[in-house]
Amino acid sequence: MDGIMKYINRMTRCSNFYRTQQLQDTGISGVQCVYLMRISRQPGISQDQLAGQLYKDKSVVARQLATLQQAGFVRKESSPTDRRVQQLYPTEKTMELLPRIRAVLEQWDEILTRGFSEEEREQALSLLRRMYENAENELHRSGENPKEKGADNP
């Protein structure tokens, strides 16, 4: 019997590949879309908070942010309350690209649920949301509390 994670992982890889293909002329990858969306939704988020919310290793986040900063999509500023903390902000280049990123994400949702009734779409979303809540609760129960890192629904 195949496990749920096999298909979730495969869908994630397909999703990243699809976004990369659709946005290849922009200079960002499918993975970087998530970073830009989060930073745009939460201007001033710290690198550590971003890592916690995306459930990513800090070094992976640092590398992605360096690439995005070099390409002109993200800017960093020292926090006025703690100079050691770098706050992240979207640039105008990112803000101009957001509608296109959102459109690609919506297209992918449509592709994933092709042939589904509205009820089936709602049911799939509900089940996935419950699985995510179970996963997050398990991390909390085992001592890894993503909420302490500023995590919310990714």
Q: Is residue 113 part of a domain?
A: yes
Measured CA to CA, the distance from residue 42 to residue 12 in angstroms comes to 23
In this model, does residue 153 exceed pLDDT 70?
Answer: no
- Which residues constitute the domain of residue 33? 4-149
Residue 1 is predicted with a pLDDT of: 58
- The number of folded domains in the chain is 1
Which helix (H) or strand (E) is 134 found in, with range?
helix 118-141
Does 61 map to a domain? yes
- State the DSSP H helix or E strand holding residue 26, giving kind and residue range, or none if neither: none
> Is 51 a residue whose pLDDT tops 80?
yes
Residue 30: what pLDDT?
A: 94
Quick check: 93 pLDDT over 90? yes
For residue 154, pLDDT beyond 70: no
79: confidence class by pLDDT, cuts 50, 70, 90: confident
Q: What is the CATH number of the domain that holds 80?
A: 1.10.10.10
72: region left, alpha or beta (phi > 0 left; psi from -120 to 50 alpha): left
Given this model, what pLDDT does residue 147 score? 46
Average the pLDDT over 19-45 and give the result.
Answer: 96
The pLDDT value recorded for residue 145 is 55
pLDDT at 111: 97
From 69-83, 85-99, 136-150, the region with the lowest mean pLDDT: 136-150
Confidence (pTM): 0.84
DSSP SS3 for 43: coil
Q: pLDDT higher for 154 or 1?
A: 1
The answer to whether residue 119 sits within a structural domain is yes
Confidence of residue 152 (pLDDT cuts 50, 70, 90): very low
Find the Cα–Cα–Cα–Cα dihedral 36, 132, 108, 74, rounded to 10°.
Answer: 0
154 falls within a domain = no
The predicted-structure confidence for 115-148, as pLDDT tens digits, reads as follows 999 999 999 999 999 999 999 899 888 776 554 5
